[in-house]
Chains A and B, each alone.
Chain A
Amino acid sequence: MEYTWAGIVAVVLVIAVELLWFKTGLLRRLTFYVSWAIILFFMVLVDGWLTKLTAPIVLYNEEENTGIRFPWDIPVEDYLFGFALITLTMLLWERWAQRHPDDAASRRTTGPLIRRR
């Protein structure tokens, strides 16, 4: 079950890094959760294709995970792996903008100037 534990540790670490160190606030924003709902949908499609047991691209050693696969043949550990990879990247993306406010502001030049909270 090494993959299972590695996945759990990775998710905890990413969340801890945000709460104790980065403090970007991303995990408190609606944008984050709406984005994740969309990402999750496409993650299932892509990972479903990679892991389908009828013609698998990635082969898993079932001794190193729980063996629980959902939906289709996606090992549930893949969601932990994906969450850690994607959320860590998002947090660093946010952090960079917060440390370079001039550059972040340029994002708004083509959009509405009024900010809503």
Chain B
Amino acid sequence: MDVDRFQYLILMGLCLLITLPLEFLFGARVWRRPRRLVAAMAVPVAIFVAWDLIAIAREHWDFNPQYVTGWELPLNLPVEELSFFLVIPICSLLTLEAVRRVLDRD
């Protein structure tokens, strides 16, 4: 099996892994508030998936077949791109909440 094809997915996995301590050591409480998390992410995910699909269709960007799985969701959305739109906002919210806790302010 060619591990290079999983580079993008592995990178996203590492992002989740490296931010996990923010939840459990810094008390970020993002993963543990799933309703608020879904409420925050649903609209941005929809908007940015749409942006991504349009950008791919209009040839703003493309993906190197060497480093992606080739697995596609409906509308030919690469599975890596959906993972990006899920992972990056979660990591960012974890950062926001961890900083809030450290600074002890809202």
A-to-B contact residues, CB < 8 Å: 2-3, 6, 10, 29-32, 34-35, 38-39, 42, 46, 49-50, 55-61, 64-65, 81-82, 85-86, 88-90, 92-93, 96-97, 100, 103, 107, 110-112, 115-117
Contacts and interface: CB of A to CB of B under 8 A. Distances in A.
Contacts of B85: 85
Contacts of B64: 55-59
Contact of B58 (A2, A31, A86, A112): A2
B104 A116 contact: yes
Interface residues of A, dominant DSSP: helix
5 contacts: A35-B92, A38-B99, A42-B15, A86-B89, A89-B89
Interface of B: 7-8, 11, 15, 27, 29, 33, 35-37, 39-41, 43-44, 47-48, 51, 55, 58-64, 66-68, 85, 88-89, 91-93, 95-97, 99-101, 103-106
